[in-house]
């Protein structure tokens, strides 16, 4: 998941939590205010009921008339005046038990039932106790709370939608400088390592740009060093080896050499040739990682390239037994096109096929070609000695050779070189092998015909 999306979701989750708490806060205090207001109205009626029924006089009569004229009649309003028995105890007739227990214990009480509210107090007159209770329903207050709940719910859902898009826009504009930085970094390749990022400012992005620039400085130095080596090593290293080889050949052509001298000179010539091959492999390996990117690329028909590679292998190893399987070729021939450098790709495929022939002791090697989605897949399978499973992870390390290859000539450069070339073409290599059964190498390249 992209960080920008994570920030949007975190922003939405945080805002959702805040809105839930705010709505709960509003609903809680609105309910408390609503109930408190209604209980206050009930208590006023309790006082009026007590005065009118227990202490009648001209003033209470005026209260009663004012109540009847101006005081609203509550829904389901009911007045009760209950007299205690001779021992001062009250008998509960139809009041809620919890309300009755509290009012008898404390002398006054408020209680909310399912849909009905109760308020009351105990009044003493002439040594007798009276429980004055007024009960009523509060449909308007409950409807008000319900309406508030709906408003808060719809407001909450609407706010979530707004917050999501605001969070998305916020994260988009927050990451705009990072996207700009990423785009600039993606334009920097080995051919323009001199380019640098803007690191003006004192914020974190300026620090990141400065860090990238320092890394680019080190990379540029390393690439220049490698380029200088590749450019100069061919002349500086090959010339002495050529001279040594020539002198050895001249010495071997001289008359009068005994068998021992010829063996010594032959060993020198053999080792010089081996050193030349290793040097050529190293230089090609270095070029594939750097100079290869400077070559002109073109669209290559991969099936034609395979035939060229097989021809190159048979020139070097005439006894090779290679079978080509093109049964799964797609109907659209354009899918077989690959963008790349023909010489480099030819070298990579040739090395893989040549290894398959050599390590299978020239038994049958099968080359298959197919297209899967946007990938061209070349499969080279042999019936050779295989690779121990514990050593598979090391076969692309330069100069590494499997423990069962001592009887075969090689320097451990071919597969690393092939991997460098395939990676240069934005592809990958997969391998599976079993000792004494064989090895299959698959080359995956992006199709240029999509």
Q: Answer for the pair 449, 433: CB distance below 8 angstroms, yes or no.
A: no
370-390 residue pLDDT tens:
999 889 999 999 999 999 999
344/350 Cα distance (integer angstroms): 10
| Mean local confidence (pLDDT), 123-143 | 88
- Cα gap 391→82, rounded to integer Å: 98
pLDDT at 411 exceeding the cut of 80: no
Whether pLDDT at 245 is above 50: yes
Eight-class DSSP state of 192 = G
Q: Give me the pLDDT at residue 199, please.
A: 76
Contacts of 447 (CB under 8 A, 6+ apart): 335, 336, 337, 338, 371, 374, 375, 376
State mean pLDDT over 208-233.
77
Mean pLDDT of the chain: 84
Span 110-131, average pLDDT: 89
CB 50 within 8 A of CB 119: no
Q: How confident is the model at residue 267 (pLDDT cuts 50, 70, 90)?
A: confident
Name the percent of the chain lying above pLDDT 70: 89
Asked whether the predicted pLDDT for residue 109 surpasses 90, the reply is yes
The reported pLDDT for the residue numbered 141 is 84
Q: What is the DSSP letter of 72?
A: P
pLDDT band (50, 70, 90) for residue 407: confident
446: left (phi over 0), alpha (psi -120 to 50) or beta: beta
What the chain holds in terms of domains, given with CATH numbers, is 3-157 (3.30.450), 204-289 (1.10.287), 296-446 (3.30.565.10)
Radius of gyration of the chain (CA): 47
Distances (CA, A) of 372 to 15, 203, 328, 376: 45, 46, 10, 6
Q: Give the HSE-up count for residue 4: Cα atoms under 13 Å, Cβ half-sphere.
A: 14
How confident is the model over 51-69, as a mean pLDDT? 70
What is the rounded CA–CA span in Å between residue 390 and residue 402?
Answer: 10
pLDDT band, residue 216 (cuts 50/70/90):
confident
Task: Report yes or no: 339 and 296 within 8 Å, Cβ to Cβ.
Answer: no
- 219: pLDDT confidence band, cut at 50, 70 and 90? confident
* 188-207 average pLDDT score: 77
Q: What is the DSSP letter of 394?
A: G
Summarize pLDDT for 271-308 with one digit per residue, the tens: 787 677 667 766 665 665 554 444 567 899 999 999 99
Rounded mean pLDDT of 7-19? 89
Distance CA 430, CA 392 (A): 11
Q: SS3 of 79, please?
A: strand
Q: What is the pLDDT of residue 248?
A: 87
Query: Cβ neighbours of residue 146 under 8 Å, at least 6 residues apart?
Result: none
Q: Which residue has the higher pLDDT, 92 or 273?
A: 92
Question: At 62, phi and psi to the nearest 5?
Answer: -65, -40
d(CA 167, CA 165): 5
Helices marked H in 290-360: 302-316, 342-359
Note the pLDDT of residue 288. 58
Q: Quote the tokens at residue 421.
A: 């070339």
pLDDT at 40 over 80: yes
Range list of H helices, 290-341? 302-316
Q: What are phi and psi of 331, to 5 degrees?
A: -70, -30
pLDDT at 225 over 70: yes
Q: Model confidence at 119, in pLDDT bands (50, 70, 90)?
A: very high
Lowest-confidence region among 58-72, 181-195, 234-248, 336-350: 58-72
Per the rule left: phi > 0, alpha: psi between -120 and 50, beta: everything else, 332 is beta
Question: Which residue stretches of 317-341 are H helix?
Answer: none
Q: Strand pairing partners for 88?
A: none
């Amino acid at each position: 998941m992209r960080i920008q999306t994570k920030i949007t979701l975190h922003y939405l989750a945080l805002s959702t939590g805040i809105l839930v708490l705010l709505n709960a806060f509003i609903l809680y205090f609105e309910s408390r205010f609503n109930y408190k207001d209604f209980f206050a109205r009930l208590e006023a009626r309790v006082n009026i009921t007590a005065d009118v029924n227990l202490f009648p006089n001209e003033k209470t009569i005026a209260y009663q008339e004012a109540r009847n004229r101006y005081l609203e009649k509550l829904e389901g309003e009911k007045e009760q005046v209950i007299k205690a028995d001779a021992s001062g105890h009250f008998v509960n007739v139809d009041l809620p038990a919890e309300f009755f227990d509290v009012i008898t214990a404390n002398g006054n009480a408020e209680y909310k039932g399912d849909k009905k509210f109760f308020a009351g107090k105990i009044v003493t007159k002439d040594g007798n106790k009276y429980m004055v209770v007024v009960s009523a329903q509060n449909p308007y207050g409950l409807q008000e709370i319900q309406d508030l709940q709906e408003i808060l719910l719809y407001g909450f859902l609407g706010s979530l939608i707004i917050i999501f898009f605001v969070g998305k826009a916020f994260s988009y504009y927050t990451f705009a400088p990072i996207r700009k930085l990423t785009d600039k970094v993606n334009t920097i390749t080995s051919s323009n390592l001199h380019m640098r990022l803007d690191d003006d400012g004192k914020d974190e992005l300026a620090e990141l740009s400065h860090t990238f620039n320092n890394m680019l400085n080190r990379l540029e130095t390393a690439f220049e060093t490698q380029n200088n080596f590749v450019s100069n090593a061919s002349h500086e290293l090959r010339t002495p080896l050529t001279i040594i080889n020539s002198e050895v050949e001249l010495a071997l052509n001289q008359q009068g050499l005994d068998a021992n001298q010829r063996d010594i000179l032959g060993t020198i010539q053999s080792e010089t040739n081996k050193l030349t091959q290793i040097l050529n492999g190293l230089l090609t390996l270095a070029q594939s990682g750097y100079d290869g990117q400077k070559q002109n690329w073109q669209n290559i028909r991969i099936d034609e390239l395979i035939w060229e590679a097989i021809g190159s292998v048979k020139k070097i190893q005439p006894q090779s037994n290679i079978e080509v399987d093109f049964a799964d070729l797609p109907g659209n021939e354009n899918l077989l096109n690959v963008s790349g450098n023909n010489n480099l790709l030819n070298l990579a495929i040739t090395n893989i096929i040549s290894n398959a022939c050599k390590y299978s002791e020239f038994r049958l090697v099968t080359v298959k070609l197919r297209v899967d989605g946007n990938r061209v897949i070349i499969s080279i399978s042999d019936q050779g000695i295989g690779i121990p499973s514990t050593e598979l992870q090391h076969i692309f390390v330069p100069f590494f050779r499997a423990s069962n290859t001592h009887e075969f000539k090689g320097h451990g450069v071919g597969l690393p070189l092939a991997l460098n070339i395939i990676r240069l073409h934005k592809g990958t290599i997969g391998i599976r092998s079993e000792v004494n059964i064989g090895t299959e190498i698959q080359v995956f390249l992006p199709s240029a015909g999509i």
